[in-house]
Structure 1
Amino acid sequence: MAQKFEQDDQVNFFVPVFWGTKEPELFADLMRVAAKMTGAYHFADNMFVFQRNNSMVRDVPFMDAWQQNIVSSSDEAILWRRYILAMAGYHCSHLDGDFVECGAYEGVGAKTVLDYLGGPEFPKTFWLYDLFEHKADSVNHPMPSHGPQLHQQVVERFAGYPNVRIFKGYLPEVLEQGAPERIAYLHIDLNQAPAEIATLEALFDRVVPGGMIILDDYEMYFYRAQKAAEDNWFGQRGYKVFPLPTSQGFVIKR
């Protein structure tokens, strides 16, 4: 579990999950050494920052929603990313339009946002899309939970949530089965450039003014092909993507 330490009004957050390191255990040990030399730190998800407020840890309703939707060590580590989604969701809840997540995977990210905003009573519809398994012709890499069972697991996860619609299939083709006409919140996490660009082509014009688009891996070096493609796509439309230290990208629709 995440380690939370308080000293005076400081809150520290440390989850030893870091991707792309040659010696993960040694790297985590070095982070523990660094933790002894500073405070108000956030060490997780390839972030090594200190003297931060860690606002998400102080947001009790968010922490409740987050903790209820942890199914892996990765879910613990990406706390800050999940808080970005929740804050975007809060803003977008005041706009016209529904919520959309393309690349729902296990559904826990969307459910964290939804539980933070009211759970089954949230008045907007949350549309979730994913293939839920990895095919031989898939461009993106496989994830641990991918498989023929995942779709049903996600359906069961949202049992009792009448405001959630779940679609299984390739993006953007699966959008033909149903998609909202107006979108307030759009989260894209497909781990590959072609499908993300095709999804933007299909949905961008449906995002309402003030609506938010979050690109999960935009600022992650491993996924730099997505950044290059999305910079070009948004640039042609007079937009620039906000790069966030969480590795996400962020766009506000005009």
Structure 2
Amino acid sequence: MKSVLKKLLDFLGVRLTRIDGIKRYDSDGMQTLHNHEFLDDPKYQVALARALMADPTLGFMTWRLHVALWAASHAVRLGGDFVECGVNRGFLASAIMKYLDWNSLDRSFFLFDTFQGIATELLSSEEINAGRLSFNKQYSDCYKDAVDNFSEFQRVNLIRGRVPESLSSIHIDNVAFLSIDMNSAKADVAAFEFFWPKLAPCAVVLIDDYAYSGFEKTYSSFNDIAQQYGVPILSLPTGQGIMLKGGSGTFLPENRAKET
């Protein structure tokens, strides 16, 4: 089984090698000799397989996916819905819903995207100079594919349009999980500021490109936000950032999370 996993990871661009008998993880701009046995977890592997069904080009993001699944597992024990701003074909959200057994939960998942790439008019000159316009070469109109991808899951709402304009098109009261990944600092910050008042106490905000190389505008913009709101950001070697909403939250026991 492990040899099969190794071949799959090699195919996805995730390199696992040994140095002095210690396994090394090398993918997505990150190398480490530290423990990465989450790759062997059968539940994680099922979630990864479902993510790859949505978008097989993102298989190198195995550790970023691990972080997202942790964040979702935290959020599901809070009251509130899930939101993702920046979806494309649904790699991350598909994995989360599979991992959490979404259809057994009484939650809604709101997915905001143009479903055809970055809204380039929102890019700053700094982002354009960093080559962000070229990112749209990897995107195409994928709305129909996304609809088909999520058809097996209940209470999923795909909202097509540009953020921030599309955010007010649907009513959302209480959010436990917010994922932000639109490759534009202006759009990312707008989504954060729109949903911050709606976040449940202890809700998690996952900023995909916070510390990612080439996204310095996103990094500085969210650092300004962190200072303004008085909420620190955990910077991760995956390039992600995590924020937690303050307040006194109520965590549900694991066996009751599915009942809420």
Q: TM-score, normalised by structure 2?
A: 0.81
Kept in 2, the 8 Å contact 1:126–1:163? The answer is yes
Kept in 2, the 8 Å contact 1:185–1:212? The answer is yes
Kept in 1, the 8 Å contact 2:79–2:176? The answer is yes
- Partner residue of 1:65 out of 25, 41, 47: 47
Instruction: Please give the alpha-carbon distance, in whole angstroms, between the structure 2 residues aligned to 1:146 and 1:16.
Output: 19
- Partner residue of 2:175 out of 171, 180, 183: 183
Q: Specify the SS of the correspondent of 2:82.
A: strand
- Alignment pair present for 1:76 and 2:59: yes
Greater displacement, 173-182 / 92-101: 173-182
In structure 1, runs of 5+ residues without a counterpart are 6-12, 19-30
Q: Deviations over 1:40-98 (max 9, x none)?
A: 22111111111x22132132112111112215564221111011111111111010110
- Partner residue of 2:116 out of 110, 133, 136: 133
Q: Which amino acid aligns with 1:238?
A: G
Instruction: Please give the alpha-carbon distance, in whole angstroms, between the structure 1 residues aligned to 2:64 and 2:10.
Output: 14
Number of the residue aligned with 1:107: 90
Number of the residue aligned with 2:192: 200
Q: Which amino acid aligns with 1:147?
A: S
Kept in 2, the 8 Å contact 1:127–1:179? The answer is no
Number of the residue aligned with 1:98: 81
Count of residue correspondences: 233
- Alignment pair present for 1:170 and 2:154: no
Kept in 2, the 8 Å contact 1:114–1:122? The answer is no
Number of the residue aligned with 2:202: 210
Cα distance, 1:14–1:241 mapped onto 2, change above 3 Å = farther
Higher relative contact order (CA 8 A, sep 6+): 2
Q: Specify the SS of the correspondent of 1:186.
A: strand
Q: Specify the SS of the correspondent of 1:174.
A: helix
The alignment's C-alpha RMSD in Å is 2.6
Number of the residue aligned with 1:23: none
Q: Which amino acid aligns with 1:215?
A: I
Q: Specify the SS of the correspondent of 1:184.
A: strand
Instruction: Please give the alpha-carbon distance, in whole angstroms, between the structure 1 residues aligned to 2:12 and 2:50.
Output: 20
- Partner residue of 1:222 out of 194, 202, 214: 214
* Structure number having the greater helix percentage: 2
- Alignment pair present for 1:87 and 2:70: yes
Instruction: Please give the alpha-carbon distance, in whole angstroms, between the structure 2 residues aligned to 1:225 and 1:3.
Output: 40
Q: Which amino acid aligns with 2:228?
A: Q
Cα distance, 1:39–1:184 mapped onto 2, change above 3 Å = same
Query: Where do 4+ consecutive residues of structure 1 move more than 4 Å?
Result: 2-5, 13-18, 71-74
Q: Which amino acid aligns with 1:95?
A: L
Instruction: Please give the alpha-carbon distance, in whole angstroms, between the structure 2 residues aligned to 1:44 and 1:74.
Output: 14
Number of the residue aligned with 1:9: none
Q: How far is 1:3 from its partner?
A: 7.4
Instruction: Please give the alpha-carbon distance, in whole angstroms, between the structure 1 residues aligned to 2:77 and 2:245.
Output: 15
Instruction: Please give the alpha-carbon distance, in whole angstroms, between the structure 2 residues aligned to 1:250 and 1:158.
Output: 26
